[in-house]
Amino acid sequence: MATATIPRTARPQGRASFVNWFSSADGWAQALVFLCATAILAITGLLVWELWTKSQLSRAQFGFSFLTGSDWDPVNLKFGALPFIFGTVVTSAIALVIAVPFGVGAAIFLAELAPPKLSDAMTFLIELLAAVPSVIFGLIGIFVLVPILNQVVPVLKEGGLGMLPIFSGPFYGVSLLSAGVVLSVMVAPYIISVSREVLLAVPRDLREAALALGATRWETTWDVVVPGAKRGIMGSVFLALARALGETMAVTMVVGNTPKIAASLLAPGYSIASVIANEFAEATSGMQISVLIELGLVLFALTIVLNGAARLLILATGGKVKAS
C-alpha cells in the first residue's frame, strides 16, 4: 500500500533564520533578559575598574604592604589596612555566631511547627525588621544595647569568662562585641526569611513518608526537612555575611572607631566601611583619598572571596550529600 509523504517545510538558514528569530516575540524577550544580565556584569566591571584606577596612587606608594600594615596616620601619610580588615571580619564573624543558630531555629519554627496564621504574621514582622534603616539599629545599639552590655559583661567576666583572652581587659561599651551583636540583629531577618522559604519548598511527600515510618514531628523536621534544605540555608547564611561585611552606620556608632588590633572582643575597633564613611569627606590629600578608595577595593575583594568560598563550600557539601 502506498504511503503519502508530507513534504517538509524548508527551514530558513543563516541570516534569514537569525532575522526571523530576532523579529519574533521570543527573540525580543531573550534579547531583553540577556541585556539585563550583561548590564549587571558591565556595572560590576565598571565599579571594579573605577576603584582600581582611582586607587592607583595608593597602590603605587604602598603596594602589598598596605594590606599588612597597621599604622594609620593621615598627617604623616602612613596607612595600613590590617586593623580595618580585622575589625570587619571579626564583627561579621560575631554576628554570624549569634544570628545563625537563632535565625535557623526561628525559621524551623515558622516553617514546620508554628500554626499558619502565626507563621505568616511573624514572617511579615520579620520582613519589616529587615527594612529598618541601619542608623536606627545604631541608635538602639547606643541607647539600649550598650547599657545592657555594661551591666551583663562585668558579671560574665567575674563568672569565669574574664580568664579567656577574647574577654580580657576593660569594657567601655563601644567595642567589637557591641558591633557584632548589633549586626546579628540586622542580619537575622535575612537568615530567617530565606531559610523559611527554603524549608517550605521541601516536598511534602518527604515529610509524609517519614511520619508514615514512625518518625516524630521533630525527627521528621531535623532528620528529613533540614537536610533537604541545607544548601538553601547555607546560602541564606552567606547572604547575611555579605550584608554584615558592608554595613556602615550601625557599626560606626558602636564599634569605637579605633584603628588597632586587639585580642579582646571587649576592645574598640574599626571596620573598612566605617573608616571610609568617617574620613572620606574630610580627606585633605590626594593620597588619603586614594587610600580610602583602595580600602573600598579591598572590601569589594573581601566580599567576593568570602562569597566565592561560600559557593565552593555549598557545592562541596552538596556533592557529599549526593554521594551518600
Domain boundaries, the chain: 81-323
Average pLDDT over residues 157-175: 85
CATH class, domain 81-323, is mainly alpha
Q: Contact 292/283 with Cβ under 8 angstroms?
A: yes
Measure the CA–CA gap between 321 and 115, rounded to whole angstroms.
31
How big is the CA angle at 271 (ends 265 and 274), to the nearest 5 degrees?
130
Q: Is the dihedral of CA 191, 192, 194, 200 positive or negative?
A: positive
Which residues, listed in sequence order, are joined to residue 78 by a DSSP beta bridge?
73
37: exposed, middle or buried (C-beta count within 10 Å: 0-12, 13-18, 19+)?
A: exposed
pLDDT at 26 over 80: no
Measure the CA–CA gap between 284 and 294, rounded to whole angstroms.
16
Quick one: cell of 164?
579567656
Convert the pLDDT of each residue in 35-61 to its tens digit: 888 998 899 899 999 999 998 999 988
C-alpha distance from residue 78 to each of 27, 73, 75, 96 (Å): 56, 5, 8, 33
Q: Contact 241/160 with Cβ under 8 angstroms?
A: no
Average pLDDT over residues 78-97: 92
User: Nearest 5°: phi and psi at 256?
Assistant: 105, -25
Convert the pLDDT of each residue in 1-13 to its tens digit: 455 555 554 455 5
With cell 519548598, the residue in question is 201
Measure the CA–CA gap between 78 and 277, rounded to whole angstroms.
19
Stated as kind and residue range, the H or E segment containing 78 is strand 78-79
Q: 71 by DSSP, 3-state: which?
A: coil
pLDDT at 140 over 70: yes
Per-residue pLDDT band for 127 (boundaries 50, 70, 90) equals confident
Quick one: cell of 135?
542608623
- Predicted local confidence at residue 97, as pLDDT: 94
Measure the CA–CA gap between 166 and 263, rounded to whole angstroms.
6
C-alpha distance from residue 277 to each of 194, 272, 282 (Å): 30, 9, 10
- Predicted local confidence at residue 106, as pLDDT: 93
Give the predicted TM-score (pTM) of the model: 0.83
pLDDT at 188 over 90: yes
Quick one: cell of 113?
511547627
pLDDT at 321 over 60: no
pLDDT at 322 over 50: no
Measure the CA–CA gap between 168 and 155, rounded to whole angstroms.
13
Average pLDDT over residues 84-99: 93
- Predicted local confidence at residue 99, as pLDDT: 94
